[in-house]
């Protein structure tokens, strides 16, 4: 069918390319039965209803539709119709709501501008074509525990590695360590860094708003760029890990709660900017502590296991967050799972006791705020700061990090926040589970790297970097 239509269209395209004097096109929605163009005769094709032509264009696909655009004004009018290109975008690799989010919120680069608020509506054909032209990028989300890497045009990360085992902490802005890290990832991906832009996540570190913390953050960013440009990357884009997780949830403002490998960070972000001046909260309980506490609980019950990896696997398969801890203690919670090569493991209330340290760290012998208290503190700071025209922006709480995949966690956090805040402050609080699980930041980077304006709006080239670096040596002041 498509081949036949292609043939017919081919005939029309060839014939009509010789017709040059066409009158103005009608609007595609004018009349279904209207001839396509008054001034040019295309024989029987003139009598084809617009809807049918649209359907044919849909079947032929974007390449042929784009070709039809260059035939004449009338054809261009039909083939450039937004509805046709929305259809193509909807049938594309990326979810359409992600495309809409990125093209309306992220086109401008940073600082973000809501695109459709300020400019006339864009042509969706243009968006489609520009997105197709965006080169693929290497995405590296170097978490402090696990690194996720892969090609931006792929559906998910192509690989993962244990950063903490292989590279130590990448928070330390050490040139040789970063160089070793980036070159190892590139060789695992079997790509040359010089062949495409590289997008990296910047870890949530030096969270204070002091001059020295700002300098450390700038230095880390600068060292990442130096390393990548020394490896001949043509362009680099470096974005905070929490901001990427927020974009993955298709939001530009809110509080990101990243339950990381070592620590949990509560990060207020307004229009894509981390509000360090409002206050980033860091609490000591992260994924490692949950695994460690589960290990202790299993040992107390004389459950034997081979390694911490076994415990981690059991945690991922069996653990959950109780909606009401005390009520859960009175319930039967026994469940079993298989661990490859080690057999079957059965847990009972350890299943929810271990993750409970996120909310009650004292259970695991830690003196720290509970997750809900840290989020509430951050919300208080945001409310006091009175920044942003939307006074409820900080009521959207986006979860990120592998541990936030624990079943029941979003519901429990929301419930605890409602207990802490009376109305009207509690009105509209919404905790959003991690859409892409453990890979939130990687997917946020994928969304950015596929924006039609990615190269010019989000990347810095070596030349631009060197110019900035020279002007403000030894550190770049703003970027």
Ligand X SMILES: Nc1ncnc2c1ncn2[C@@H]1O[C@H](COP(=O)(O)OP(=O)(O)OP(=O)(O)O)[C@@H](O)[C@H]1O
Contacting ligand X (CB under 6 A), which of 94, 316, 342, 380?
Answer: 316
List the interface residues with ligand X, window 367-406 (CB under 6 A).
Answer: 401-403, 405-406
Tokens 């009018």 -> residue = 77
Q: Which is nearer to ligand X, 41 or 156 (CB)?
A: 156
Is position 434 an interface residue for ligand X (rule: CB under 6 A)?
no
Stretch that binds ligand X, among 26-34, 90-98, 258-266, 464-472 (CB under 6 A): 258-266
From residue 246, alpha-carbon distances to 31, 213, 258, 270, 394 in Å are: 44, 22, 10, 10, 12
CB of 261 to ligand X, least distance (A): 4
Is position 285 an interface residue for ligand X (rule: CB under 6 A)?
no
> Cα(135)–Cα(400) distance, rounded to whole angstroms?
27
Stretch that binds ligand X, among 102-110, 254-262, 363-371, 464-472 (CB under 6 A): 254-262
Per-position x/- string for 142-181, each x denoting binding to ligand X as judged by CB under 6 A, each - no binding: -xxxx-----------------------------------
CB of 346 to ligand X, least distance (A): 18
Stretch that binds ligand X, among 41-49, 186-194, 260-268, 443-451 (CB under 6 A): 260-268
- Which alpha helices (H) appear in 323-404, and where do they start and end? 325-329, 350-356, 371-385
Indicate the helix (H) or strand (E) that contains 314: helix 308-318
CB of 174 to ligand X, least distance (A): 17
- Binding-residue total with ligand X (CB under 6 A): 20
Is position 321 an interface residue for ligand X (rule: CB under 6 A)?
no
- Say if residues 263 and 286 touch (Cβ distance below 8 Å): yes
> Cα(138)–Cα(186) distance, rounded to whole angstroms?
8
List the interface residues with ligand X, window 202-221 (CB under 6 A).
Answer: 203
Lookup: tokens for 293: 């506490």
Q: Which is nearer to ligand X, 306 or 391 (CB)?
A: 306
Give me the sign of the Cα torsion angle 305, 311, 317, 318.
positive
Is position 289 an interface residue for ligand X (rule: CB under 6 A)?
no
- Say if residues 167 and 174 touch (Cβ distance below 8 Å): no
> Cα(163)–Cα(145) distance, rounded to whole angstroms?
5
CB of 382 to ligand X, least distance (A): 21
Which residues 6+ apart lie within 8 Å of 403 measured at CB?
259, 286, 287, 290, 355, 358, 409
Stretch that binds ligand X, among 127-135, 253-261, 330-338, 425-433 (CB under 6 A): 253-261
Is position 312 an interface residue for ligand X (rule: CB under 6 A)?
yes
Burial of 204 (0-12, 13-18, 19+ CB in 10 A): buried
Q: Characterise 250 by phi-psi region: left (phi > 0), alpha (psi -120 to 50), beta (else).
A: left
Q: Which is nearer to ligand X, 258 or 452 (CB)?
A: 258
Is position 364 an interface residue for ligand X (rule: CB under 6 A)?
no
Residues forming the site for ligand X (CB under 6 A)? 143-146, 203, 258, 260-262, 287, 291, 312, 315-316, 401-403, 405-406, 438
């Amino acid at each position: 069918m498509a081949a036949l239509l292609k043939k017919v269209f081919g005939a029309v395209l060839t014939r009509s390319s010789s017709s040059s004097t066409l009158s103005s096109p009608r609007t595609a929605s004018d009349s279904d039965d209207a001839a396509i163009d008054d001034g040019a005769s295309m024989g029987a094709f003139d009598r084809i209803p617009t809807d049918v032509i649209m359907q044919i264009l849909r079947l032929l696909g974007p390449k042929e539709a784009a070709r039809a655009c260059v035939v004449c004004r009338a054809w261009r009018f039909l083939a450039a119709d937004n509805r046709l290109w929305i259809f193509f975008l909807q049938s594309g690799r990326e979810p359409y709501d992600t495309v809409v989010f990125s093209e309306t919120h992220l086109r401008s680069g940073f600082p973000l501008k809501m695109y459709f608020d300020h400019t006339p509506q864009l042509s969706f054909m243009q968006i489609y074509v520009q997105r197709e032209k965006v080169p693929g990028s290497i995405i590296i989300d170097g978490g402090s525990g696990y690194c996720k890497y892969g090609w931006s045009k792929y559906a998910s990360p192509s690989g993962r590695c244990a950063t903490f085992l292989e590279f130590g902490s990448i928070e330390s802005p050490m040139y040789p360590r970063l160089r070793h890290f980036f070159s190892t990832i590139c060789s695992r991906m079997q790509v040359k860094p010089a062949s495409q832009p590289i997008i990296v996540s910047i870890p949530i570190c030096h969270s204070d708003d002091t001059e020295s913390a700002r300098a450390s953050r700038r230095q880390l960013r600068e060292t990442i760029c130096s390393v990548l440009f020394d490896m001949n990357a043509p362009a680099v884009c470096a974005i905070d890990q929490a901001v990427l997780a927020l974009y993955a949830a298709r939001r530009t403002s809110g509080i990101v709660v990243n339950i990381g490998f070592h620590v949990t960070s509560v990060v207020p972000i307004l229009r894509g900017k981390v509000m360090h001046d409002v206050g980033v909260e860091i609490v000591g309980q992260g994924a490692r502590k949950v695994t460690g506490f589960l290990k202790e609980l299993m040992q107390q019950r004389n459950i034997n296991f081979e390694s911490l990896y076994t415990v981690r696997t059991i945690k991922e398969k069996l653990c959950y967050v109780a909606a009401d801890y005390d009520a859960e203690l009175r319930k039967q919670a026994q469940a079993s799972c298989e661990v490859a090569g080690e057999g079957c493991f059965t847990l009972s209330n350890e299943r929810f006791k271990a993750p409970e340290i996120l909310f009650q760290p004292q259970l695991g012998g830690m003196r720290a705020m509970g997750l809900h208290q840290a989020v509430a503190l951050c919300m208080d700071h945001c409310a006091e700061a009175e920044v942003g025209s939307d006074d409820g922006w900080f009521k959207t709480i986006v979860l990120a990090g592998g541990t936030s995949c624990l079943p029941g966690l979003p519901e429990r956090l929301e419930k605890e926040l409602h207990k802490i805040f009376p109305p009207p402050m509690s009105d509209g609080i919404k905790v959003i589970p991690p859409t892409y699980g453990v890979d939130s930041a990687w997917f946020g980077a994928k969304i950015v790297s596929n924006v039609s304006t990615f190269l010019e709006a989000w990347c810095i080239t070596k030349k631009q970097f060197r110019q900035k670096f020279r002007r403000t040596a030894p550190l770049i002041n703003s970027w």
